[in-house]
Structure 1
Amino acid sequence: MFSLAEISSAYRTRFAEFAFEPAFVAMVDQHVADVRTRLDADGPELEPAAPDSERLADYALGFVDALAENDWREPVGHDYAVCRLTAISWLVHSHGLLPGVRD
């Protein structure tokens, strides 16, 4: 089982792809919005509040567990799971949800 820190670290490397993959950026942005909605972290503000780190960790770990149950393997490209895990990592990094982690 992975921790939120491990997920965040593993998928932060995908941020480099944002510079040359605009479709990936759009997909991750949609996943960020969906995760915020699931965690009740969206709102009317222009700059949404940071999601609760414990709730995000619970969500992320449940997601990874479901992937493991389905024997998911990370593809070369961008499937649903890669986009979702990258979105989780982006939320962690952009809001500094883990000690010492902030972009």
Structure 2
Amino acid sequence: MNDSSACPLVGVAAAYMPRLSEFTFEPGLVAAVDQHAAAVCDALVPAQRRPVDEPETRSVRREDLSDYVLGFTDWLSEVDWVEPVGHDFATLRLTAVCWLIREYDLLAA
């Protein structure tokens, strides 16, 4: 995916990246988002695919995270999810996706 405007991460980042600023005011949010980010990474590269004798290093590719986001947002549409005030599973997961986007610089040209 070379065209970042066609990348589903752009829309998620626009909508949920501002939530990362809430880390300063809600320390518990950092832990929750970290757990969700780890779960997303595990979904992208399951432990059984990692060599046992290799230390765990995480690397997230834009294409893989984009596919994950497409599946997740499709599921949210199917269940008629409405973004709540505050944080639920979906907002935490989408905020974690934004943290991964920022951490791995996935929207860079």
TM-score over 0.5 (shorter chain) = yes
Instruction: List gaps (5 residues or longer) in structure 1.
Output: none
| Residues in 2 aligned to 1:3 and 1:92: alpha-carbon distance in whole angstroms | 11
* TM-score, normalised relative to structure 1: 0.85
Instruction: Tell me the alpha carbon deviations over residues 43-82 of structure 1, each in whole angstroms, 9 at most, x when there is no partner.
Output: 735xx33311101100011101100111101111110000
Per the alignment, residue 54 of structure 1 pairs with 63
The TM-score, its normalising length taken from structure 2, stands at 0.80
Aligned residue-pair number: 97
Q: Conserved in 1, the CA contact under 8 Å of 2:33 and 2:96? A: yes
Aligned to 1:74: 83
Q: In structure 2, what is the equivalent of residue 29 of structure 1?
A: 34
Q: Stretches of 4+ moved more than 3 A in 1?
A: none
Greater C-alpha radius of gyration: 2
Unaligned runs of 5+ in 2: 1-6
State the identity %: 48
Q: Is the 8 A contact 1:8 1:90 kept in 2?
A: no
